[in-house]
Amino acid sequence: MIAYIGIGGNLGDALATVERAVQALRTSLPASQCLRVSSLYRSAPIDAGGPDYVNAVAELCTTLSPEGLLQALQALEQAEGRERPYRNAPRTLDLDVLLYGAQRLDSPALTVPHPRMNERAFVLLPLAELWPQGVSAAALAAVADQRIERL
């Protein structure tokens, strides 16, 4: 199954953390192969709190179930000291399952496609690098006012 993973962080050395996460996706994720990774981007926090984020998107081929993939990603987050004090809190590392093939899933633990991905330039721009036919010009235009820059 082809899955797209959103990668981001804004606490500590976010650039180094995201680079370590990319390396972990390439070498340590069970039953998965990292096919490609987008450019890195710097973006403003959605709620304007905390420092800027470093973001990317990875394309994986995996035999993990969506829930198994989420668990493996959360283990990588924990290894980087991820805490969840409140919704959208600044974080060392955030790994989100954006898409899992064409599957749709809505459970208490996981919603796929990611429910807010079309509202976020930091998801759509790197995703469009990897899967241009999957991101419409209208979707990109809708987030054009969000501050984001390619690193």
Catalytic: 13? no
Is 67 exposed, middle or buried, given 0-12, 13-18 or 19+ CB atoms closer than 10 A? middle
How many angstroms separate the CA atoms of 149 and 125, rounded? 10
Choose, from 36, 87, 94, 104, the residue flagged as catalytic. 94
Write the DSSP symbol of residue 23.
H
Residues 6+ positions from 145 with CB-CB distance below 8 Å: none
Catalytic: 84? no
Catalytic: 94? yes
Catalytic: 47? no
Choose, from 96, 104, 106, 147, the residue flagged as catalytic. 96
Q: Using DSSP, state whether 43 is helix, strand or coil.
A: strand
Choose, from 13, 20, 42, 82, the residue flagged as catalytic. 82
Residues 31, 4, 139: CA angle, nearest 5 degrees: 170
Choose, from 36, 91, 116, 145, the residue flagged as catalytic. 91
| Residues classed as catalytic | 82, 91, 94, 96
